[in-house]
């Protein structure tokens, strides 16, 4: 008969928390806690995801897009500031896959009849929505950050791509 995981609630706690709660770091406990450290990245990832979710709810409650709260927490906890997120390369890959899926989903919701009606205006908005962030990103990179033209193009291209994904997510959330 398998033991129930919920019968021992401390099984979900990190070894560091258990050692701190016990106030005991003897040699016998060090060996036991070393065996449990393989789950620490999973705990940190769970804390990160819950923080993202909670910040999105808080920002939505105060009338701002949830994505703004998620970005703020991602910057604060992420590798650029606190570096508290494990497996950042895996999360970056997951984010890129999610962006592709977001674009596919947006494409599936396109109403071809509506595009025929608005036609050139929709094309102009799409082109301006991509070229304007790219151009502004390049201008900032060249004149303020003193980057080369190739580096500035990379900055501008990343701004254009990010603005599309963010705009789709904000528009989708807004109804």
Residue range 17-30, pLDDT digits in tens: 555 555 554 544 45
3 or 36, greater pLDDT:
36
Mean pLDDT for the chain?
76
pLDDT over 70, % of the chain: 70
Residue 23: per-residue pLDDT: 57
Residue linked to tokens 């962030």: 133
Residue 81: per-residue pLDDT: 86
Q: Cβ contacts of residue 48 below 8 Å, gap of 6+?
A: 77, 84, 85
Q: Cβ contacts of residue 99 below 8 Å, gap of 6+?
A: 161, 165
Residue range 28-87, pLDDT digits in tens: 445 555 555 678 888 888 888 899 999 999 999 999 988 889 889 988 988 788 888 887
The number of beta carbons lying within 10 Å of the beta carbon of residue 25 is: 11
Judged by DSSP in three states, 70 sits in helix
**CA distance readout (Å), 163 to 67, 123, 132:** 12, 17, 10
168 or 59, greater pLDDT:
59
Residue range 82-122, pLDDT digits in tens: 888 887 788 888 888 988 888 888 778 777 887 778 778 77
Taking the C-alpha atoms of residue 157 and residue 60, their distance in angstroms, rounded to an integer, is: 29
């Amino acid at each position: 008969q398998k033991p129930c995981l919920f019968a021992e609630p401390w099984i979900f706690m990190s070894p560091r928390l258990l050692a701190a709660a016990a106030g005991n770091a003897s040699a016998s406990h060090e060996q036991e806690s070393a065996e449990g450290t393989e789950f620490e990245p999973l705990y940190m990832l769970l804390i990160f995801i819950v923080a993202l979710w909670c910040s999105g709810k808080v920002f939505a409650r105060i009338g701002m897009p949830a994505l703004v709260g998620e970005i703020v927490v991602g910057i604060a906890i992420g590798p650029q500031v606190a570096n508290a997120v494990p497996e950042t390369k895996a999360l970056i890959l997951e984010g890129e896959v999610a962006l592709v899926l977001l674009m596919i989903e947006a494409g599936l919701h396109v109403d071809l009849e509506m595009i025929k009606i608005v036609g050139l205006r929709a094309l102009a908005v799409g082109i301006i929505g991509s070229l304007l962030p790219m151009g502004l990103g390049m201008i900032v990179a060249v004149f303020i950050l003193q980057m080369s033209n190739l580096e500035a193009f990379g900055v501008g291209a990343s701004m254009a791509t990010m603005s599309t994904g963010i705009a789709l997510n904000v528009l989708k959330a807004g109804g």
